[in-house]
Every structure is written in structure tokens, then in C-alpha cells.
Homo-oligomer: A and B are copies of this chain.
Amino acid sequence: MNDNFEYLFAPNSVAIIGASDNPNKIGGRPIHFLRKYGFRGDVYPVNPGRQMVQGYRAYSDILDVPSVPDSVVIAVGTDAVADQVERCAQMGVRAAVLMSSGFGELGEKGRARERRLVEIANASGMRLMGPNCQGTANFSNGTILNFSTMFTDVAAQDGPIGIVSQSGAASVMPFALLRQAGLGVRYVIATGNDADLGACAMAEAVARDEDIKLILVYLEQISEPHRLASAARIAKERGAYIVVLKSGGSTKGASAAASHTGAVVGNEAAIDAFLARSGIWRARDIQDFILAAPLYLSDRPVGAGRSVAMSHSGAVAVMTADLAEREGLELADLADETKTRLTAILPDFGTAHNPLDTTAAVLSDPTMFPRVLSAIGLDSQADTVMVSVPMAGPGYDLETFADAAAEFVRTQNKPMVLSAPQPNVRAVFSARDIPVYATEADAIRALQQYTKHQQLRAALRESRVIEPIMGLPRGLQDEHRSLSLISDHGVPVVENILCNSPDEAVTAFHELGNVPVVVKGCAASIPHKSEHDLVYLHIRSTDDARRAAESCFAALKDMGITKPQVLVAKMVKGEHEIALGATVDAKLGPLVMIADGGTLVELRKDAVTLLAPFTAKQAREALARLRIAPLFQGYRGKPPLDVQALAEAAVALGDFAAGSRESLISVDINPVMVMPSGEGVLAVDAVVELNQ
């Protein structure tokens, strides 16, 4: 079925059912806004009680409207909605904006009612926004099918930004802040209950608009991730960016998950992994949502992302270094030639290192600021520039500074931000299209976000296609089956032998070379073996092996296991214990978690999550973000670890999860023993659970 977006965003005619002559009522505001913002098509108010509505001829019934309107706004009482949807469908309307509330937001009964609306509409090819939605606005052509009061208080202006939101408030809050920053916004779309056309679909539609460079999407649920991913692909193709603000993280939906992996990954890490994989930046609040907007709009290459900061204050230089470290913005190491050039320009007590402090000498010599910028421009390490003007006043030649800044950006084509607490200082730079911020913290946050987002998007690659794995077992697998399963799919596992009697355990001890072994009770129903005295470590003799096996068999029988078994495995001690896990998010897909291992994995929370499938390179990049990452390079006399083998094991697990995504619940491998570099990794314990 066609999405019919063109009828919502650029209709030739619009009918408003429940039209009001009062421009401050819900049924009156769209009519008021259509006129105010210059909509050129036909407007048909529908109101049985009036001849005229806000100067337009009114109709008593939608069926009386002289031609079929391209789209319809429905702003009537809950009980009247279905009837109006039916009439619209009947007459061939292509799209309707259901502002009326009283549906899915009230619970299951309301959801059933709204499903019925969608059925009625879709049956004739009509698409719905809402219900319970604020509507859509396209300020390029005045199609404001939206009842927000914000467009009265804050004057709209067309521009290269689109806002798509499941919430009305969250659509107009960023709108207000962007307009205050002087930026134009084309689309303000609040989708409400998402019963038919949802926010992800709308984002896809907005991404297709060639003029849009930045799409801000507020979501409470990602109901159609494939459409959001598609929006990201379309945006990337055109050089546009998508930033998502996904709220609701504090509810910790997954905290009750049964597996360690589920508990650590949770819904939020899954969403992070999905968005990162799609090249979408995740904002953490409304401020993050809009902060980097001017950088997205000018869109200059960030290169390797190394920044040079300059100001005329030593304190600002120190604070900038602190903030850059805190926010993860890399400061460039200036080339020696640059330092030589800067030393020739700066006064004695200015220092030619990054962040640069020109000192108050910029006051007495107006050529200094431009010359410093020129020197920075000659340095290939300087990918981006941040200028702070912490104070100004008489004697500060701001026009010359700002001209030099604009000239730098024009000739170097590198991103620059300016920070100044004084609005009059910001205005001088802003007039030359330099993104401006009131504090260094905001400037650095914006530059860091833009840098990382551009790099994230540039690094996107098409995923490998993983074929479904056939013949998978069902249900919770015991340790032996779990190890075999992951081993079959490429995860190296410890040598282990399943035994049905103490005699077999002794034989296994010999088969494994009489080396120290571990003897463990093995039963799918008892995943937490050590809590039940079912683990015997450091077994070095035939007698000990027999005794341990006997204890396990006895304990398992006591616990009612009808066919008790023990596992005999080589004792393996790695340099470090990592936890590897996999889960499948119903909407987002297969996920792999890599974490600092052991029993405290949930408390230490030193974990990264990847959407599968992924490459070994991506796994290594993720591993580098762990707090314990310095361990991989060799730490405090310990050897470097086989991080490549660990990455490959994670890739194998990811491929397994992707191939088994239809039935996989979770894989917990804890620990994976990581050996010194070149000696590999070995999974020594695993639990795989699949659907029954």
C-alpha cells in the first residue's frame, strides 16, 4: 500500500472535519495556520452548524465537499471518529490526520478501536496519522495540519531541518529552541499513537526531501526499526543526518531478564547498537537533540576529528582541555612547523600548544588573531577549530576576528565553532555563519557529536547476509550441548567429555592426558552449578576424579535429575576472563555483548553491545571502549592478550545469533578465557537457550 505522504505534506486540497471558527480551538487552529503560513490549495471546513468558518465556506458533511480533498483533518469527539473515517474512505480521500484522542493511549480497548479505524481506512487505500496526534506541518508550502499553539507564539520559517516525534510536546520543544537559535525548520510532525503511519515511516518520508539536511526524531518506542534504518540509508545517500532522542530508558524493561546477557544488554544497549549500526546519533536530552544543528547544516568534513582550540585566556585553555577530555573530543598535536609559526606570532607568555592561549595580546595587535588562524590552517593535524572569546568590550576588534574566522572556514572547509558568554559577541560570528555557543562545554559537546556522527556514518558498511541455521535444538541446553553448539559455529571451546558414570569420568581424565581437570555436574535444569556444589576444580588424580564424579552424581540424583551426567574438562586458566553473550531483540535483531567477565558482570557493567552480524574490526573497536581495554595491550607485567581471537569468537557468536534469530533466546558464555596474544581464547562454560 502506498504511504500517501504527498497528500499529507503537499496536498492540493484539505478538509477539516470538526472545523471551528475559533482559531484557538483544536478544530480551528489548522485553518488559521493554513492561511497564516500561506497554504495555496483549497480549504474545506466541515461543520454542520455554520455557513462560513474563518472566512472559508463551510460544509455540513465531508460528503458535501465539492471535490475529493487530498487530505483530511479529523478533530471530532472520540465516538464520531469512526464514522468520519468511513465517509472519507468511501469518497476516496488518500490521507487523514486524526487529532481526536480517546484511543490506544487509554489501553487495550482503545487500541482495538484504533485498529478498526486503520482497517476501514486501509481497505480503500487511505492512510492515517494518529489518532491522538498533533499533526503534521510543512512550512515550505504552508500545509499545517497541526493544532500546536506553538506556531502562534513562535514564528515558523522554512529551513533544512525536519522534526518527527511520537509526542506533540517533544516536536515543538526542539522547534522552539531551534527557532530561537535562528534556524529554519520545514517539518514539524507529531504522530501520536502511530496506529498506521508511524514516526519511523514519517522519518523515511522526510529523509526523501532533498532539501532536508537534518532530521530529528523523538521516539518512545521504535515500532518500525526497518523503516528507521531505511530513513538512515536514504539520508546517508544524500549526505543528510538523523539524530534520535529515544526516551524511557529509566524504566529498565529488561532488568528482569533471566540471562546475564539480557540483564546487561537491556533494551537501551540494544537500541544504542541498532542506532549506531544505522549511522544514527542518539541524543540523550532535548539539548543534545538540537545542539549540533548548525554544524550539521553547514556540513564540512571532520577528517580524523582532531580539534584545535584557541582563546585569549589561559583559564579557558585549561578548561577546554578538561572539557575535551570529558566529552571525548580529541585535541590535535600541533606539527613542529606550526609551533614554530605560532611562536613567531604569539607573545612570550603565550604558549604554542593546543589549546592555544594568545593572551590579551590579541587586543593590542588586531592582526594576531587572523595570523594564528592561518598558521592553524596550514597544519594537517587541525581537522576542526574551536574559538573562545570569553570576554570582549572596547578594544576588541570583533569584526576582524569574525572575518578571519569566516575566511578560515571558507578557504579550509573545516568545521569551526565559537564560544562566548556575551550575546553581542556571538552575534558578530553568527552573522558570518559560524555556529555559536554560550559556553565552551556546549561548543565542545556539539563539535564532538558532529565529529563522531560524521565518522560513524562514514564507516557504515553493508552487513553480511547470514543464512538461517537449520536443525537447531529446542529449549535450554545443558553445558555440554551448549559448548558443542557454539563450537560447531566457530567459538573455540575447552576440550570436554560427557560422562554417564564415575568410571567414564576416570576414563575421561586419562583421555584428557591426566592433566588437571574440572569435574562438573551437567544438567540443563541447573545452570548455576557452583551454587549447588556441582563444580570440582584442580582435579589431578584418578582418585580425586572418581570422588568428584561420585559427589556430582549423588548430588544430581538428590536434586531429582533422572539421567545425571558429569562433564570432565581440561582446567584452563587464561590471562583474563571475558563474558560473551547473545540475545535477540524482537524488533531490533540479534545482539552480542562482550563484557569484563566473572560473576560480577552485571555490577561491573564494563560491557559493549553490538548488533549482529559484525566484523572482527568492529568487535575490536568495541573492545577498545571497555574500561579494562588497557589489559589487551599488556598491563603491569602481563603479556598482551589475544584480542583478535576474542574478536573472532565474538563475530562467530554474532553469526550464530543472526542465523538462529528466529529461535534463539540467549547465549551466556562466562568465562571465555583469553590467552596471551597468538594463543587464542577458550569458552569454558556456556548456556544456550532456544525457544521450546
Contacts from A to B (Cβ < 8 Å): 23-24, 101, 105-106, 148-154, 165-170, 172-173, 176-177, 180, 218, 220, 247-251, 284-287, 311-316, 318-319, 321-326, 348-349, 390-396, 421-424, 438-442, 528, 531, 596, 599-600, 603-606, 627-628, 630-631, 635-637
Contacts and interface: CB of A to CB of B under 8 A. Distances in A.
B326 A106 contact: no
Contacts of A349: 101, 105-106
Contacts of A422: 150, 153-154, 176
A610 to B, nearest CB: 21
A531 B422 CA distance: 58
Contacts of A177: 421, 438-439
B315 A393 contact: no
B441 A603 contact: no
Contacts of A167: 313-315
B251 A321 contact: yes
Contacts of A396: 149
Contact of A286 (B176, B325, B441): B441
A627 B605 contact: yes
B315 A218 contact: yes
30 contacts: A23-B394, A24-B395, A106-B348, A149-B395, A150-B422, A153-B391, A153-B392, A168-B313, A169-B312, A169-B314, A169-B315, A170-B313, A170-B315, A170-B390, A172-B390, A173-B391, A180-B421, A220-B315, A220-B318, A247-B315, A250-B322, A250-B324, A285-B439, A286-B319, A287-B442, A531-B637, A596-B604, A600-B631, A603-B635, A604-B627
A302 B72 CA distance: 51
Q: Which 10 A-B pairs have the closest CB atoms?
A: A149-B393, A167-B315, A169-B313, A169-B390, A250-B325, A176-B421, A170-B315, A24-B394, A285-B441, A153-B393
A247 B318 contact: yes
Nearest to A389: B169
B391 A172 contact: yes
Contact of A627 (B172, B284, B421, B603): B603
Nearest to A628: B603
Contacts of A312: 169
Nearest to A319: B247
Contact of A604 (B150, B251, B321, B606): B606
Given A168-B313, A285-B440, 12 more contacts: A149-B391, A149-B394, A152-B394, A153-B393, A170-B316, A173-B390, A176-B422, A250-B324, A286-B440, A287-B441, A287-B442, A596-B604
Nearest to A250: B325
A605 B627 CA distance: 8
B599 A636 contact: yes
A27 B251 CA distance: 60
A319 B170 contact: yes
Contact of A284 (B153, B313, B326, B348): B326
A382 to B, nearest CB: 19
Nearest to A324: B250
A169 B391 contact: yes
A396 B422 CA distance: 32
Which residue, A153, A173, A423, has most C-beta atoms of chain B within 10 A? A173
B150 A393 contact: yes
Contact of A323 (B101, B285, B605): B285
Given A313-B168, A314-B167, A528-B637, A248 B391 contact: no
A154 B323 CA distance: 26
Given A349-B101, A349-B105, A249 B322 contact: yes
Nearest to A175: B421
A636 to B, nearest CB: 7
A156 to B, nearest CB: 13
Contacts of A604: 596, 604, 606, 627-628
A312 B148 CA distance: 13
Contacts of A628: 600, 603-604
Contacts of A247: 315, 318-319, 322
Contacts of A442: 287
Contacts of A220: 315, 318
Contacts of A531: 637
Contacts of A152: 393-394
A686 to B, nearest CB: 18
Contacts of A627: 603-605
Nearest to A105: B349
A532 to B, nearest CB: 10
A155 to B, nearest CB: 12
Contacts of A324: 250
A180 B423 contact: yes
Contacts of A149: 391-396
A255 to B, nearest CB: 12
A438 to B, nearest CB: 7
A270 to B, nearest CB: 16
Nearest to A603: B628
Nearest to A359: B101
